[in-house]
Structure 1
């Protein structure tokens, strides 16, 4: 009779031990200290130094499939030829290092080609929110001073009602998937440069532009989500994206090191890593983490015209997707879909999400439904060039309420009202520092000075660190409610609502009160086929939290809560649903 081996204890190696081992001299993730804008900063010694280095790493993957959109497919090599064709066209247009080149379109294959084509010229690439209306696109184009913009037909239509005419700095507009004639002489078809996606492989080989690029050169402007106030353009460097790419590689390997297992050899994989992309490329996570990471590592990216859960499951089966996710709602939709078992989803190795709080139940459900898939999450913001902390695997199962620990080139502080660093377990404002923190906000020196200091970004998040260095986000500083002198953290109440088995989405906001100042209200979305009344949900919260934290009103909805393109719930819109504002 044979007996099963005893399971290894978790973790085999502490976080500090794993970091020390993985960053030792001579390793892939060796760390060195450099001065960034006068501030001593830890950096990855071997990370890709520029967007051009990421591009060249991607080209080395040759004939592997890189981009899939409906019937369009591009290999790494054909993509590279399209990006170089765009780069040389921009040089002919007079674009030079430091000029701003904007991109505003759906997650089409042309998006990455335009982004990296512009990057190869040394331009500061400026992705714009494709969900934005004409006035919002006009604002970003004028604020950035973009000389050139790449659009799809839908975005061009939004700019047509006078907005394009107000963008005086624009000298050239390239539009894809649009065959109409346009009165504006600046408008040209992108296909005149690249041809159709499936023909990119026939483009001639062109040399790399002869442009000097250094790690701390300006590289990108990503506009903040704009959930409150005017959009701000976060100015990132070449190093920012390279750091984010390496952070993703590091965190994946760390999970094996912590388990005491050898890191799998990527060359030994029989199945190409493939991601179903549900996050817009114009979002820092979609671009710097997913797109740049896939290009560097040789992964396939599959995009959709718009999110549809049944089509997503079909694509997972057909394209043998290994990584899926986006925001927690997307993960829930797959898990709870009545037709899920009709599809072969066994290739999934990771279900990762961010942009919104997720319940501990979601972690358990992922492991239950997809035993071979690792749940993953993390914390980050536009100002940190995507994910700053990474949380996955057994660590996530063990601490499902946490956003994970920082990577070793990043630093986190919890800061009190007087600027003092607070000890473990005490809530304060989260500050972050690292080579992937952006330089500041484009054309906004005063706001930059308020937000960035000595390499640190003041995030506006209320959080605490535990004794092991794991981060716990408590709330947005501006979202904390004060009810009659008592503090209420919205995420705490949302977390309890997420524990209810019928709730898929939850948002807590402040409702004005004449005597108390404000009191909590909530809107929730129920899972498909589930039922729960307002009274039941209020009673559920009351059993778990102090009475003053119980929402005085809970709006129960069938449709998903209003979100921006980055997956963040729009609390202003939630307030409107509750009759406020």
Structure 2
């Protein structure tokens, strides 16, 4: 069936196969959400507002971990030489949950979780939330002061952490009177004032020998509070986004809805569900990994492969060794896999999908994944305040619109508002993106004024500048604060960055504004070149000048020997780049 496309965004380098798309987006939605189908929707009232929800979504995180017992001896987690089954994970989760309950942890209590991606992470997460307590995942990259801030801000009664994080927390624990109990993993002996996790549940290899038991009883409903994820805090102190069980469980079906759409668009039936192997390298303390990935993997019985730290060469070896079907997380990871000098020496034929979110991706990356890895590209848009997935983009739709983050999933709504938030803008106009749906968080923890400013009548103000096309595909143009205004002309940094990424030598790029006495700001670029590639400032300026208006050409280009600085969520720390220009 013929379908109108956004002419400006349609890339010249991808030609749709004959007959594509076989169904319109509306037809796909109607087919997938029809009564009796897995993606059937129902309207429920949330905070006084009628809201479309997935009828078949798990009711709570407790329901997810209980259902995961059905996967039995299927491998749940691979970490270095450790391999842990779903049965073993459930046994460990139940044991830890009973211990926490015996320590007085109950519904509404905050329990912090601070560790790198380890087999213990999902055990602790589900043990906490299965009790009706609120899990507070903390950024494992944070300093002692940053960890102390979040522990105090959340009022956490208990902390479960690894030895590395304990070394930081121990120095500030005296300043945290509300922190009653600490449990530390991967440490040789129990430290003063803390318990050792292995003394409670054993090391991962021994979890299979723990008694099989049910979780402690707990009464949990979808609107109960489940998590506090702190925003990335690229500016100022991070805020705790308060999420419910429904928020995070919505993503279980949102992620699979996106994947089910692609076959229908090409005229095929979605395949029967099957277990996959996923190289999960982004931190679980971020909503992309925890909500959009891990929660759904426990429902489907997928295998998660963790790494001690990201290394593209080691990742390539793991993909080959474990037969990894899906990886990604943030665009940087995909770029490094593609540009690694050893990539062609590894068998990557098992890869089916390279998907990412959390940071903007250049259209050139979409094409490179398709041609260079032979895998389908996937992306989506969401934020901490939406518990991850709001839009989804995969396969042919992504190749056809590589500068879009996709349309909203069926239970979500998007709108574009003017600067003061009083008027909805028409199709094609750029304004601030607002999002609505069952994934939108309740607000910020103990921040009523900031909550009121960001969460408006059930909609979340994203701070992203975006536009929608006639079919509802969303295009993130820039973060409002990242837009460069040169003499009254708006320059969307992502537009210039995408052009730089198209240059064959560029593998990482960011555009910021440099102060100018008369013009206010001028665009400047920080670039990292691929290994073995060369390019000069003048060459890159000429490259941009051939493709964009003159006022958008960076007045300066600075080169860095390594990838640009990022936070743990994959977002470039642009505030650190200005110092490079002297």
| Equivalent position to 1:345, from 344, 348, 362 | 348
Q: 297-306 or 539-548: which moved more?
A: 539-548
Kept in 2: contact 1:357–1:495 (CA 8 A): no
| Equivalent position to 1:170, from 162, 174, 179 | 179
| Aligned twin of 1:459 | 462
Residue 236 (structure 1) shift: 0.4
| Aligned twin of 2:503 | 500
**Distance in 2, Cα, partners of 1:173 & 1:249:** 36
Q: 23-32 or 401-410: which moved more?
A: 23-32
Residue 436 (structure 1) shift: 0.4
Kept in 2: contact 1:361–1:499 (CA 8 A): yes
Kept in 2: contact 1:62–1:76 (CA 8 A): yes
* 1:182-201 pair list within 5 angstroms: 182-183=191-192, 185=193, 187-201=194-208
- Structure 1 residue 65 and structure 2 residue 67: aligned? no
**Distance in 1, Cα, partners of 2:100 & 2:531:** 49
CA deviation profile, 1:128-173 (whole Å, cap 9, x unmatched): 0000000000000000000111111110111232x11111111110
| Equivalent position to 2:286, from 283, 287, 295 | 283
**Distance in 1, Cα, partners of 2:163 & 2:98:** 23
Kept in 2: contact 1:504–1:525 (CA 8 A): yes
**Distance in 1, Cα, partners of 2:549 & 2:276:** 46
| Aligned twin of 1:413 | 415
Residue 548 (structure 1) shift: 1.5
**Distance in 2, Cα, partners of 1:545 & 1:265:** 45
| Equivalent position to 1:158, from 143, 146, 168 | 168
| Equivalent position to 1:489, from 482, 489, 492 | 492
| Equivalent position to 1:239, from 246, 254, 262 | 246
- Structure 1 residue 575 and structure 2 residue 582: aligned? no
CA deviation profile, 1:48-102 (whole Å, cap 9, x unmatched): 1100111122221111000011111110010001111110010011001000011
Kept in 1: contact 2:338–2:373 (CA 8 A): no
Residue 387 (structure 1) shift: 2.0
**Distance in 2, Cα, partners of 1:525 & 1:57:** 45
* 1:498-537 pair list within 5 angstroms: 498-537=501-540
Residue 431 (structure 1) shift: 0.1
Q: 435-444 or 340-349: which moved more?
A: 340-349
CA deviation profile, 1:516-570 (whole Å, cap 9, x unmatched): 1111111011111111111111111111112211111111122000000010000
Q: 356-365 or 134-143: which moved more?
A: 356-365
Residue 386 (structure 1) shift: 0.8
Kept in 1: contact 2:516–2:522 (CA 8 A): yes
**Distance in 2, Cα, partners of 1:388 & 1:154:** 34
Residue 8 (structure 1) shift: 4.5
- Structure 1 residue 127 and structure 2 residue 130: aligned? no
**Distance in 2, Cα, partners of 1:199 & 1:225:** 35
Kept in 1: contact 2:288–2:329 (CA 8 A): no
**Distance in 1, Cα, partners of 2:153 & 2:25:** 43
**TM (normalized to structure 1)?**
0.96
**Distance in 2, Cα, partners of 1:465 & 1:22:** 23
| Aligned twin of 1:146 | 156
* 1:205-354 pair list within 5 angstroms: 205-266=212-273, 269=274, 272-354=275-357
What are the ranges of 5 or more consecutive residues in structure 2 without an aligned counterpart?
1-15
**Distance in 2, Cα, partners of 1:127 & 1:50:** 18
| Equivalent position to 1:107, from 101, 111, 117 | 117
**Distance in 1, Cα, partners of 2:169 & 2:224:** 31
CA deviation profile, 1:260-292 (whole Å, cap 9, x unmatched): 1111112xx4xx401111110000011111111
**Distance in 1, Cα, partners of 2:313 & 2:520:** 45
**TM (normalized to structure 2)?**
0.96
- Structure 1 residue 397 and structure 2 residue 399: aligned? yes
| Aligned twin of 2:471 | 468
| Equivalent position to 1:81, from 61, 75, 91 | 91
Kept in 1: contact 2:132–2:218 (CA 8 A): yes
Q: 353-362 or 565-574: which moved more?
A: 353-362
- Structure 1 residue 179 and structure 2 residue 208: aligned? no
Residue 181 (structure 1) shift: 4.7
2:101 is paired with a residue of what secondary structure?
helix
2:563 is paired with a residue of what secondary structure?
coil
1:206 is paired with a residue of what secondary structure?
coil
**Distance in 1, Cα, partners of 2:162 & 2:262:** 40
Superposition CA RMSD, Å: 1.2
Kept in 2: contact 1:358–1:498 (CA 8 A): no
Kept in 1: contact 2:468–2:475 (CA 8 A): yes
**Distance in 2, Cα, partners of 1:257 & 1:301:** 27
| Aligned twin of 1:374 | 376
Kept in 1: contact 2:289–2:329 (CA 8 A): no
Q: Which 4+ runs in 1 deviate beyond 4 A?
A: none
**Distance in 2, Cα, partners of 1:441 & 1:355:** 19
**Distance in 1, Cα, partners of 2:182 & 2:269:** 50
CA deviation profile, 1:468-487 (whole Å, cap 9, x unmatched): 10000000111112111111
**Distance in 2, Cα, partners of 1:578 & 1:555:** 7
Kept in 1: contact 2:386–2:439 (CA 8 A): yes
| Aligned twin of 1:3 | none
2:490 is paired with a residue of what secondary structure?
strand
| Aligned twin of 2:568 | 565
**Distance in 2, Cα, partners of 1:246 & 1:575:** 41
**Distance in 1, Cα, partners of 2:127 & 2:165:** 20
Kept in 1: contact 2:513–2:521 (CA 8 A): yes
Residue 326 (structure 1) shift: 2.1
Residue 343 (structure 1) shift: 1.3
1:60 is paired with a residue of what secondary structure?
helix
**Distance in 2, Cα, partners of 1:120 & 1:74:** 20
**Distance in 2, Cα, partners of 1:417 & 1:370:** 41
**Distance in 2, Cα, partners of 1:417 & 1:577:** 32
Kept in 2: contact 1:313–1:340 (CA 8 A): yes
Residue 7 (structure 1) shift: 5.6
1:555 is paired with a residue of what secondary structure?
strand
Kept in 1: contact 2:53–2:411 (CA 8 A): yes
